[in-house]
Structure 1
C-alpha cells in the first residue's frame, strides 16, 4: 500500500467521522426544536437564525411572563398557627398556676400557599389544601405585596384535600380565572406559583408541562398503612416543593388548571408533582362555601378488606372459596342506614357496585363517591357463598354513620 492510498483512506475516515458527528448534532437540534415548538431555523451566513425563530423564542418567554403577571397577585402565603404548650405551660397545668389563655402562645407550625378565587362584597375567598390549615387555631394570609391579614376557615375537606378561607377584600387586587381542566392536554405548558419553603420565597415561579392526566394517587389519611381513598390528580414536571401546597398551577393564559397538592419524593424520582384539577376544585369549593363541608353519601357499614381476614374465617364463616381474597367484608350495619334499609347484613362480602368490581375499601369509596345523595345503586354481595344483588338508595347519614366512612 503506497502513501498516497493510505492518505486517501485516512481522509475518507475523517470525512466519515465528522459527517456522522455533524449528522448527530443536527438530529438532536431538530428534535429539541420540535419539542419546544420552535421552527427549524435557516442559517443566514454569520447572522445566525431567521427572524421567525427568534420571534418564536420571544413569544414563548412572553407567554410565561404574561401568565405570571396575570395571576401572581392572586397567589398568597398561608400561615398555620397552633397552640404548642411550653414547659412553663405544662408546669402551670399541674401546679394550678394561671398563665393566660392558650391563644397567647400560638406558634407558627407551617406555611403553604393559597389562591384568591372570588371577591364578594367586603370579603374575598381563598382556596388552599386542607393539609395546609389542618389543626390550625389561627390562620393568616400574606398577600403578594407583603400585607398580612387574618383568615377565617369557612370549610375543609380531607378527602379532596381542599379548604376555603375568607379574608377582608381590602387588600385584594386580583382573583384567578378558572380553566376547564377537562380540556387540558398532555404536553401543555404548566406554570406553578407559590411559596416553596415558606413566605420567604413567596411568588416563586417554576415552569414545566402537564405530564399526565387522571393520575390515581393513593392516600393514607389515618396513617395506618392502608389506602383510605384515591385522589384523581394532574401530573406535572414543574417543580413542586414543600410550601407550594395550595398554590396555583396555571396555563399559558394565566388560567388556573389545578391546585398544587403533592409530589413524589425520592432519590430515584425527579419532576413528579401533582395538582387537583380545576374542575374538581370548583365543585368542592362551592360545597364548602355552602355547607362548610362536603356531604357525601354513605352506606352505613363498618367494613374490612377481605384479604385481611384469616383463611379459616373466609372459608368457615363467610363460606368463600379458599383462593378468594378480593372484596369488602361487612362487619357491622348501622341502624336506619342505607345499608340496613337495602337489606345488607353482617358478613356480607361486597364485590361490586353498579357492575364495577370492588376489590378493597379504596375501590368501594372511590365508586361510592361518584354518586349523589338520593341516587340508587346496586350492590353485588356474596352471602354464605351465594351471590345476590341489593338495591340501596344513598343517604347522607348522620354523624355516627359518616364516621365509618362507608
Structure 2
C-alpha cells in the first residue's frame, strides 16, 4: 500500500493506478456477496481510498508510520472474520433430561446440552430434534451470555430438525448458503458447544469431505473432518462467506475412527423450515409401500439396480393400484431411483395427495401406474 505525502491524505491508499478510474472504486472479494463501493479521491494521477474503509470492509488492522511515511495493512484470517460474523448467531441450549428419575431428578448438575442457530431476529432458533426431544426446562444462552427460557415449537425426527422459540428481539440472524454451491474440499468452520456447556461457541476448522452421504439418515448429509463432538449437535457448519452450509448432526465414533462428522445440508433445513411455517409440521409424502435397496446401494457401490417392493399394506392406495410385493420400481415421474435416500430427496418436491406416475416391472412386464401420494406416519 502507499500513503499520500500530506497530512490530509494520511488515511488514503492506492486502489487504482489509472487516473481515469471512476470516482467510486469497486472491490469484489471472495467473501463479499455484492461488490463493495468506496469513496475515492484522485491525486497525482492515481485514485485513492481511505485506509479506514479498507479495514472496515476487509477486516484486519492498519497503521500509519509518520516517520517513514508508510501505511502498513495486516489482513486478518478469513476464518477469524467468519467466526466474528457468525458466532453471535450461535446459541447454547441446556435443559433437564425428561427421563430423570429418583435422585437424578434432584441433581442440578444432571443436564443435557446442545447448540442452536438463530434464524429469526424475533427469537426463532433451529437445532437438532434429538437435542431437544428428551429435554425439559430449556434455557437458551446467547453468545453474549444472556439467558432466555426456551420452548420447542416444532419438531421433525425424520430430518432431525426442530425449532425453539425465545422471547427476544433484534437477534443477529445466520444466513443459509445455497447448497448447490458447496464443493468437496472447501474450508468450513464448525461452531458449537462440545462436551461441556462451559465450551460453548467453540470453533473447529476442516473441509467438506464429501457430499450426498447417507448414514442412518432419511435425507442426504454433508461429511466433514471438522471436529464435531457431543454437544456440537444443532450448531453451524459455515463456509468462508459466513454462510451456514449445514447443521451439525452426528459423528461416527469408534476405535481408530477420526474426522467423520456429518451435517444436514442447508437445502434440507430450508425445506423443513418452509413446512414448519406453512403447515405447522413436515408433510412427508410417501408412496405407501415399503422398498428395499440393492446390496450394492446398501454398501455404497455405484449401481444402476432399482428398488424392490417388499410390502404393500392391504387396502392402501398402492394395493388398489395393483402394486404388489416383488415389483421393481424404476422411476417416479421419469426420475430414476437407486436408493431410499434418492427417493426421499426426490419426494421433497411433492406433498401428500399429489399424483405421480410410477414405472415398475410387475410379473415380468414394464408398466406405468398413477398413484396419489399418502402422508408418511
What TM-score, normalized by structure 1, do the two folds share?
0.63
Corresponding residue for 2:368? Answer: 389
- 2:268 is the alignment partner of 1:280: yes
Q: Deviations over 1:155-191 (max 9, x none)?
A: 1112221111111115x64221222222123332211
Q: Give the one of 214, 218, 224 matched to 1:217.
A: 214
- Equivalent residue runs for 1:29-48 within 5 Å: none
The answer to whether the 8 Å contact 1:305/1:329 transfers is yes
Q: Determine the C-alpha separation between the residues in 2 that align with 1:306 and 1:65.
A: 44
Corresponding residue for 2:330? Answer: 352
Moved more, 269-278 or 383-392: 383-392
Corresponding residue for 2:75? Answer: 59
- 2:329 is the alignment partner of 1:329: no
- 2:96 is the alignment partner of 1:81: yes
- 2:282 is the alignment partner of 1:294: yes
Report the structure, 1 or 2, having the larger strand content: 2
CA RMSD of aligned residues (A): 3.3
Q: Mark the CA change 1:274 to 1:307 in structure 2 (over 3 Å): closer, same or farther.
A: closer
Corresponding residue for 1:264? Answer: 252
Please report how far the alpha carbon of residue 379 of structure 1 lies from its aligned counterpart in structure 2 after TM superposition: 2.3
Q: Which has the higher contact order (CA 8 A, sep 6+)?
A: 1
Q: Determine the C-alpha separation between the residues in 1 that align with 2:130 and 2:110.
A: 15
The answer to whether the 8 Å contact 1:83/1:107 transfers is no
- 2:164 is the alignment partner of 1:165: yes
List alignment gaps of at least 5 residues for structure 2: 1-71, 296-304
Please report how far the alpha carbon of residue 127 of structure 1 lies from its aligned counterpart in structure 2 after TM superposition: 0.6
- Equivalent residue runs for 1:91-240 within 5 Å: 108-119=110-121, 123-170=122-169, 173-212=171-210, 214-219=211-216, 229-240=217-228
Structure index of larger Rg = 1
Q: Mark the CA change 1:105 to 1:285 in structure 2 (over 3 Å): closer, same or farther.
A: farther
Q: Mark the CA change 1:79 to 1:367 in structure 2 (over 3 Å): closer, same or farther.
A: same
SS at match of 1:218: coil
Q: Mark the CA change 1:218 to 1:344 in structure 2 (over 3 Å): closer, same or farther.
A: farther
Give aligned pairs, total.
296
The answer to whether the 8 Å contact 1:193/1:203 transfers is yes
Please report how far the alpha carbon of residue 204 of structure 1 lies from its aligned counterpart in structure 2 after TM superposition: 0.5
Q: Mark the CA change 1:392 to 1:79 in structure 2 (over 3 Å): closer, same or farther.
A: same
Q: Determine the C-alpha separation between the residues in 2 that align with 1:175 and 1:325.
A: 42
Q: Give the one of 376, 379, 391 matched to 2:358.
A: 379
Please report how far the alpha carbon of residue 128 of structure 1 lies from its aligned counterpart in structure 2 after TM superposition: 0.5
The answer to whether the 8 Å contact 2:91/2:115 transfers is yes
Q: Determine the C-alpha separation between the residues in 2 that align with 1:263 and 1:149.
A: 28
Please report how far the alpha carbon of residue 105 of structure 1 lies from its aligned counterpart in structure 2 after TM superposition: 9.0
Corresponding residue for 2:240? Answer: 252
Q: Determine the C-alpha separation between the residues in 2 that align with 1:333 and 1:73.
A: 53
Q: Deviations over 1:94-142 (max 9, x none)?
A: xxxxxxxx9x9998552110011112xxx31001011111233442212
The answer to whether the 8 Å contact 2:159/2:218 transfers is no
Report the structure, 1 or 2, having the larger helix content: 1
What TM-score, normalized by structure 2, do the two folds share?
0.68
List alignment gaps of at least 5 residues for structure 1: 1-53, 90-101, 220-228, 309-323
Please report how far the alpha carbon of residue 377 of structure 1 lies from its aligned counterpart in structure 2 after TM superposition: 2.4
The answer to whether the 8 Å contact 2:120/2:173 transfers is yes
